[in-house]
Structure 1
């Protein structure tokens, strides 16, 4: 696998830290984190992804603009769409989330964290309210099973992004409520929501629109991952649709275009570029857009992530192969 410069730098930084990952080691960097409370059994699973805490800067209180005013985003570029009753729809472009990974926002009176882990292709939106307190999330710089570990600034507990669960600190075992959101093309979003909003470009010096993980989702193996590979001959970086502890291969869904199973309606539509393929996100190969609804047509929380990540976090999960 040919690593892009960002991945190569992270690999060089992470290599010496993987073997020494243990609570005492991490306490030096995280003196406020309560390491006596954790669900981690093997601390070697926790490694540095390269950047330090906040080296990937999460965003808070982002600016938004009218859909009609946005001219920089390519029509096939992916965005995470959040539609909450009583609020104008919002789109969070992956061209920005690739470089920031977390956006702390408030929509319709609900404090949310819109998250994207490029190494797992996991894009999830969470309610930030926990026990009557509103948390603000940052990027820890740590990985587990190649997935981003978030932290909250209030207690500096660590949270696993792919499952939205506290894994270290006072919030160990706490599950964030996942909000229904989905990834679709910019063209799809603005066609359906001409009066909607889109997150404006952040005030950082980043190459927005460029994919620093060029060719990643065509790789034979995940980056910084040493766990078991998925069963059934499924490629580690094949995309799957996760709902609860079930996973549907996107390849199966793309062939059928619609699947009705387990009380759900999963639909696939061509037109969305992969954010992890070509150097330019807008030119990525077509991986399609996916919606998941229940029998009443209500959107259901789900994720479209790589198969290896589903297997790592849901080892007893059900594979919906036919």
Structure 2
């Protein structure tokens, strides 16, 4: 995997000069309004390898009862979405290969997203003032993070921040929903009658990790920005709540942290999706939950430190004493 990353990195760097202008992307994106953009330096936009829709996003996926699913390992991560009594699990074994699932949960149109290169799993409300959007994978990366696009206007969206960065919807922000990543065993124990996304009808090696040992690497894929401050390794996981982050190493040692009206908890039992060749055999990175003072779940993300620093350069690092 690391050799493939090095090769792709070399090819992308060769393309950097040519791609440092929206004119380079216009032939692939004739419907995108490149006149409207917040991207100041187009060198930041790189091809991740696959073309537009080369990573096929899912729309209206099928589901089955969690109690009938036998293919998913107990420690495998799933993104749990609970809205208005509708409880669904989106296995990372599928999202690794599709990155976006457009669905409707509890009457709310959602986009469940996972960017493997940033370890960022975020669920957004697909409704914006201009209407309800459906998202696809552009094949582009910015600071190693997935650039999504909406099929309605073909505007480009930064997955990590949920904001349109190019196109007619420039500056529009998606609402992040309070969902979380947990182990399959945790989900089933709590929700045996809940629903789990069915295996998509694509020829993919579901359950296999195509990014073997990525989260133990020292350098992110296709990233040339600054390293995180405070000596934190680039690919250390951090728990982001708004523009604040808590290093997972700190949280996992303490088990629970309450600061600034937010309580973060950690429990072992969830595999890394970016470690071993089999996701089920990845090392234990644990499950994080984030709640407010009343015990309500809050929107958050467990992402790599470099990505937090890239998109929140003035972010607040909660390092403890």
The residue that corresponds to 1:39 in the other structure is: 38
CA contact (8 A) 1:96 1:201 kept: yes
Which ranges in structure 2 are unaligned for 5 or more consecutive residues? none
Q: C-alpha separation between the residues in 1 aligned to 2:11 and 2:196?
A: 35
Q: Determine helix, strand or coil for the equivalent of 1:116.
A: strand
The equivalent of 2:63 in structure 1 is: 64
Change beyond 3 A, Cα 1:134–1:13: farther
> Are 1:48 and 2:47 matched, yes or no?
yes
Residue matched to 2:244? 246
Q: 1:12 to 1:69 in 2, by over 3 A?
A: farther
Kindly indicate whether residue 23 of structure 2 is the aligned counterpart of residue 24 of structure 1. Answer: yes
The Cα offsets for residues 217-247 of structure 1, whole Å up to 9 and x where unpaired, read as 0001101100000000000000000000001
User: Are the counterparts in 2 of residues 13 and 50 from structure 1 also a CA contact under 8 Å?
Assistant: no
Q: Specify whether residues 267 and 79 from structure 1 end up closer, same or farther in structure 2 by C-alpha distance, changes over 3 A only.
A: same
Worse overlay, 22-31 or 70-79: 22-31
Structure 1: gaps (5+ residues): none
Asked whether the 8 Å contact 1:10–1:51 carries over to 2, the reply is no
Asked whether the equivalents of residues 126 and 179 of structure 1 are also in contact (C-alpha less than 8 Å), the reply is: yes
| CA deviation after TM superposition for structure 1 residue 8, in Å | 5.3
Q: 1:4 touches 1:213 (CA, 8 Å); kept in 2? A: no
Q: Give 1:268-279 correspondences, 5 Å limit.
A: 268-279=266-277
Q: TM-score, normalised by structure 1?
A: 0.97
Deviations 1:253-308 (A, max 9, x none): 00000000011110000000000000000000000000000010100000000000
* Conservation of the 8 A alpha-carbon contact between 1:38 and 1:172: yes
Q: Deviations over 1:181-219 (max 9, x none)?
A: 100000000001111000000000000000000000000
Check the 8 A contact 1:9/1:50 in 2, yes or no: no
For residues 8 and 127 of structure 2, what CA distance do their matches in structure 1 show? 32
Contact conserved, 1:13 with 1:49, CA < 8 A, in 2? no
Output the TM-score relative to the length of structure 2. 0.97
